[in-house]
Amino acid sequence: MQVLLYYPGCSIKRDFPEVEKASLAVLAALGYKVVELRDWYCCGGFPGTLAWDHIKYVSALRTLSMAYQQARELGASTIVTLCAFCYNTLKQASQLHEGSLEMYKRVADYLRDEFEPYRGGLRVAHFIEILYERVKEVAKLAEGRLKKIKVAAYYGCVLLRPKAVAVDNPDNPRIIEEIIKALGAEPVTYPYRTYCCGSFQILAEPSIVKRNVEKIAASIAGSGAEIVVTPCQLCLYNLRKYSNLKILDLSELVAYAMNLQESLSPEVLRAVRTFESKT
């Protein structure tokens, strides 16, 4: 059984336990043993939201140093996260020793009394990358349960930018659409699927988020989609707040298609109840 080291991040544990439950159930059904990182703490936040200096990477590099030690004990080679912001932060930090050596040395200096500096050895992956790699098994377990359902994928921006950490082609991603097809559903496309929802501006300038979400929702409305999925929980929150879209975290739709209903909240089950009559 392949072991995945799991980094939850604070927003998943605090605000989206239902996403965690569905995601871990899906990974278990795919045959993974998922082990949570010991003594984890905040990754430090998305680097793009902070001043452009080395301080923003200290927490992330410390996390990777801790993870590498535990991964060696477990025989694991991948650390997986569900949060798009955690993925982006950890992925960028994991590349410092290769692309930003001066910055890497400055960050490592903060940690030298506590950890052996992280120099690679772990793959940082997002949940959707794991799904995509096992898409044939996903299709087998889903048994075409979502046949005839039209699903729109909303990527947002954090999993696709910067290009160095993108999970797919930033200009024309297809990874989620391939997962949707594996569920038996029909993916639909629309112009604003990688347009920023406004992200963390929900805290400071919610009007920006409202404006962006309205554009995204109007674009989706013209696509014929019956349901929307996103792999980003902040996008999920923003789109739910400022639209009437039927929107789920991608993990929840996958769990439903794989008949893992015990992992889903009553709210999600109600949201997808209409699937039963159509399929």
Q: What is the pLDDT of residues 141-199, one digit of tens each?
A: 999 989 989 999 999 999 999 999 999 999 999 999 999 999 999 999 999 999 999 98
pLDDT at 223 over 60: yes
CATH 3.40.50.720 fits 143-278, yes or no: no
Q: What's the maximum distance between 2 C-alpha atoms anywhere in the chain?
A: 61
Tokens encoding 259: 């008949």
How many angstroms separate the CA atoms of 26 and 177, rounded? 18
Q: What's the rounded Cα separation, in Å, for the pair 183 and 173?
A: 18
Query: With 60 as the cut, is the pLDDT of residue 88 above it?
Result: yes
Range from 36-50, 85-99, 168-182, 261-275 carrying the lowest mean pLDDT: 36-50
Does residue 102 register a pLDDT over 90? no
Q: Cα(87)–Cα(84) distance, rounded to whole angstroms?
A: 5
**pLDDT higher for 114 or 141?**
141
CATH architecture of 3-127: Up-down Bundle (1.20)
Helix (H, G, I), strand (E, B) or coil at 187: strand
List of E strands, the chain:
3-7, 33-36, 78-81, 123-126, 150-153, 186-188, 227-230, 247-249
Query: Is the pLDDT reported for residue 50 higher than 80?
Result: no
Task: Reply yes or no on whether the pLDDT at 11 is more than 70.
Answer: yes
> Domain segments of the chain: what residues?
3-127, 143-278
In the chain, count of helices (H) and strands (E)?
15, 8
Distance separating the N- and C-terminal Cα atoms of the chain: 33
> Given pLDDT bands bounded at 50, 70 and 90, which one contains residue 273?
confident
**What average pLDDT does the segment 20-39 reach?**
97
- CA angle centred on 133, ends 128 and 137, rounded to 5°: 100
The average pLDDT across 109-124 equals 87
How crowded is residue 218: how many other Cβ atoms within 10 Å of its Cβ? 13
- Residue 268 is predicted with a pLDDT of 85
Average pLDDT over residues 213-228: 95
Global pTM value: 0.94
